[in-house]
């Protein structure tokens, strides 16, 4: 039978907890993937899962990261199933040779796998092919435990697997964060509520910060805010964007009011750094703020290599705000793209004046209200690489700021976040209602 998106395959008489009797639940987490052990990727699963399940009364008693090897995973399962009645395993459900989680869990639990017709039908629809034409490695993803359950995948093909034994239940989740997070929210939580009786999610508020570090936020909260004893604080951070979630165990009108009061206090202390409450991205906030300020935006980029344009173009309604983008490998090339020549623009002018002319030229060419121009890299002894960025407002005011050009993906993400944050603040200051 279908239950909140997941399918129970066990015998009809299998015991389940009553959802009106919330209970605490211990679980153990096993994160698989050689890339985690070699430093290629950071483990984001542990932080997300523990932070998501904690408000439901689920207590993580331990977490292990293991290689994509059957022997390593089996040893971790032996340890984990002695520690908790529920074990969550992430990764290894895909179609490649190193995706060994499905077969390893089947061998460990002695529960055979079988191809499920509904999962197979979903794959036929997704790939637009009859099942006999779907490659065998892809078709493996339709194998589910004969006695247990599977969790639908809202964002991919690999369903989650539930191996149910009297001693412990093992749940396998997909490895890609986008798929795992969607499955945990939409499928795993309803499953845990029906099987174990974990409580419903309480009331929560997520505040999204930019331009301030996680430690500074936490220090302010603990030193200057009276935090309720039943409050759970969780956070996620990446490249100077920090999401802080305030959670209470119940979701009553009184709890909602308590969170509103708490959120207002946090805004009083850290308001300039908060760009959204809820799920709006920084890019979406910038676009919506410019729309409210009746602003059309043009971008001209050298040192950022088009990252600003790519970032903003992913936001809803970006097409109604971003009217142009000019990207060049060097400042002289950008000057030619914008039709700038001496004496308006000269390579001999100061870096400050050059980037101002880029911003003014792009704004004039695109007939925009706002312009952001990113100059070429500047190198100074002892300071590393930096970029000058010019912001032109509808009133013709021009502001130039220097941003650090960090290394790698993280450095580029910080650069984009810093520029977008400054644009957000300028647009908010100039915003006028329609």
Write the pLDDT tens digit of every residue in 245-302: 898 888 889 999 999 999 999 999 999 999 999 889 999 999 999 988 778 999 999 9
Confidence of residue 133 (pLDDT cuts 50, 70, 90): confident
Burial classification of residue 402, based on how many CB atoms lie within 10 Å of its CB (0-12 exposed, 13-18 middle, 19 or more buried): middle
**pLDDT value, residue 7:** 53
Q: How many Å is the Cα radius of gyration of the chain?
A: 26
What are the Cα distances from residue 135, in Å, to 91, 95, 123, 140, 187? 21, 10, 11, 9, 27
The neighbour count for residue 40, using CB atoms within 10 Å, is: 9
Beta strands (DSSP E) in 259-376 are 274-277, 297-301, 322-327, 370-374
Report yes or no: 384 and 428 within 8 Å, Cβ to Cβ: no
Nearest to 258 by CA among 226, 235, 234: 226
Average pLDDT, the chain: 88
Q: What is the pLDDT of residues 69-88, one digit of tens each?
A: 999 999 999 999 999 999 99
Query: Of the candidates 246, 309, 315, 314, which has an alpha carbon nearest to the alpha carbon of residue 274?
Result: 246
Using the structure block, give the residue that is written with the tokens 């979406």.
284
Q: CA torsion angle for 429, 430, 431, 434 (degrees, to 10)?
A: 160
CATH class of 204-277: alpha beta
Domain boundaries, the chain: 2-196, 204-277, 282-430
Instruction: Report pLDDT for 278.
Output: 85
- Kind plus residue range of the DSSP H or E element containing 233: strand 232-238
CA distance 297 to 420: 12
pLDDT of residue 284: 94
pLDDT digits (tens, 9 = 90+) for 380-434: 766 678 999 999 999 999 999 999 888 887 888 899 999 999 999 999 988 644 3
Mean pLDDT of all residues in 226-253: 85
**CA torsion, ordered 51, 56, 62, 66, to nearest 10 deg:** -60
Q: Among 110-114, 168-172, 176-180, 302-306, name the one with the lowest average pLDDT.
A: 176-180
Please tell me the distance from the alpha carbon of residue 274 to that of residue 264, in angstroms, as a whole number: 11
**Residue 21: pLDDT band with limits 50, 70, 90:** low
3-state secondary structure (DSSP) of residue 387:
strand
Q: What is the DSSP letter of 54?
A: G
**The pLDDT of residue 287:** 95
Predicted TM-score (pTM) above 0.75: no
According to CATH, the superfamily of the domain at 2-196 is: MoaB/Mog-like domain (3.40.980.10)
Q: Which CATH superfamily is domain 282-430 in?
A: CinA-like (3.90.950.20)
Q: What percentage of the chain exceeds 70 in pLDDT?
A: 93
| H helix or E strand, kind and range, residue 25 | strand 25-32
């Amino acid at each position: 039978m279908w239950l909140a998106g997941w399918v129970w395959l066990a015998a009809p008489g299998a015991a389940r907890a009553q959802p009106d009797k919330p209970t605490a639940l211990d679980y153990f987490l096993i994160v698989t993937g050689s890339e985690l052990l070699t430093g290629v990727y950071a483990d984001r699963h542990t932080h997300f899962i523990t932070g998501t399940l904690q408000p439901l009364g689920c207590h993580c008693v331990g977490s292990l990261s293991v290689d994509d090897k059957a022997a390593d995973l089996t040893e971790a399962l032996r340890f984990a199933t002695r520690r908790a009645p529920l074990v969550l395993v992430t990764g290894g459900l895909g179609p490649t040779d190193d995706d060994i989680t499905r077969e390893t869990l089947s061998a460990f639990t002695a529960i055979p796998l079988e191809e499920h017709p509904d999962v197979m039908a979903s794959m036929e629809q997704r790939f637009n092919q009859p099942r006999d034409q779907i490659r065998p490695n892809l078709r493996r993803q339709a194998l589910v435990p004969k006695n247990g359950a599977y969790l639908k995948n809202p964002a991919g093909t690999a369903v989650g697997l539930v191996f149910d034994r009297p001693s412990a239940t093992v749940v396998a989740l997909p490895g890609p964060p986008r798929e795992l997070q969607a499955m945990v929210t939409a499928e795993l939580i309803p499953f845990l509520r029906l099987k174990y009786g974990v409580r419903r999610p309480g009331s929560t508020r997520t505040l999204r910060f930019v331009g301030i570090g996680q430690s500074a936020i936490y220090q302010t909260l603990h030193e200057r805010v009276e935090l309720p004893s039943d409050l759970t604080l969780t956070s996620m951070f990446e490249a100077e964007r920090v999401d802080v979630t305030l959670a209470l165990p119940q979701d009553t009108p009184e709890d909602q009011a308590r969170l509103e009061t708490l959120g207002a206090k946090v805004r009083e202390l850290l308001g300039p750094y908060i760009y959204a409450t809820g799920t709006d991205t920084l890019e979406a906030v910038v676009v919506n703020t410019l729309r409210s300020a009746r602003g059309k935006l043009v971008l001209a980029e050298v040192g950022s290599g088009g990252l600003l344009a790519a970032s903003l173009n992913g936001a809803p309604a970006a097409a109604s705000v971003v009217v142009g983008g000019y990207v060049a490998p060097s400042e002289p090339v950008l000057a030619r793209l914008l039709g700038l020549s001496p004496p308006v623009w000269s390579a001999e002018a100061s870096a400050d004046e050059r980037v101002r002319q880029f911003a003014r030229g792009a704004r004039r060419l695109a007939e925009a209200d706002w312009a952001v121009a990113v100059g070429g890299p500047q190198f100074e002894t002892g300071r590393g690489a930096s970029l000058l960025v010019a912001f032109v407002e509808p009133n013709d005011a021009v502001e130039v700021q220097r941003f650090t050009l960090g290394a790698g993906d993280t450095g580029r993400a910080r650069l984009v976040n810093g520029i977008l944050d400054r644009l957000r603040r300028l647009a908010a200051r100039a915003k006028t209602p329609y």
